[in-house]
Amino acid sequence: MRTQLVLTVVGDDRSGLVQALADVVDQHGGNWEESRLGELAGTFAGVVVVSVPQERAEDLRAALEPLAGLLEVSVRPGGTPADEGGGPGRPVLVEIMGNDQPGIVRSISTVLADHGLNVAELETRTVEAPMAGGQLFEATVVATVPEGTDADALQADLERLAGEIQVEVTFRGTEDLADG
């Protein structure tokens, strides 16, 4: 029987980090199943889901500790999305773009949470605004909408918020909600 482990990794970005982690996982009979890894501001960070024979899980945990000089690794048991609060629902895509300012993520995530949406993925970045100067904020959110959510009310709240914080919000996927 195999068990899933979720590894959270953080370290100074440099060559060989993924290889070092993959070597330890492989040496303990682990299978690298899914990951989200990246470099931000000189720091390499991410989340990796591995499966490992249940009897080797503790050995893998112990073998990851010496990577602390290279990567800080925390390990937690994996679970199913329903166990983690994801629950059933349909995915929607929310894209945000506008002049960068503090509070955009908090504002958008508050509206999503108020309507019971679970954020499955969030990617943000700031880029130079070549014509206007300053910074543009861009975000892409993939969220799960629970059955019974009022899609029109959700879209209206996002549009209201977009006007308040002066960003453009594109919301896709609600046309399928009316069918559910």
**105-161 pLDDT per residue, tens:** 999 999 999 999 999 999 999 999 877 778 999 999 999 999 999 989 999 999 999
**What CA–CA distance (Å, rounded) separates 140 from 138?**
7
Q: What strand order describes the sheet that includes 135-145?
A: 118-128, 135-145, 90-99, 167-172
High-pLDDT (> 70) share of the chain, %: 92
pLDDT tier at 81, thresholds 50, 70, 90:
low
DSSP, res 140: E
Residue with tokens 């470099």: 39
- Residues contacting residue 8 through CB under 8 Å, at least 6 positions apart: 46, 47, 73, 74, 75, 76
Q: What is the mean pLDDT of the chain?
A: 90
For residues 115 and 157, the answer to whether their CB atoms sit within 8 Å is: yes
Residues 4-58: pLDDT tens digits? 999 999 999 999 999 999 999 999 999 999 999 999 999 999 999 999 999 999 9
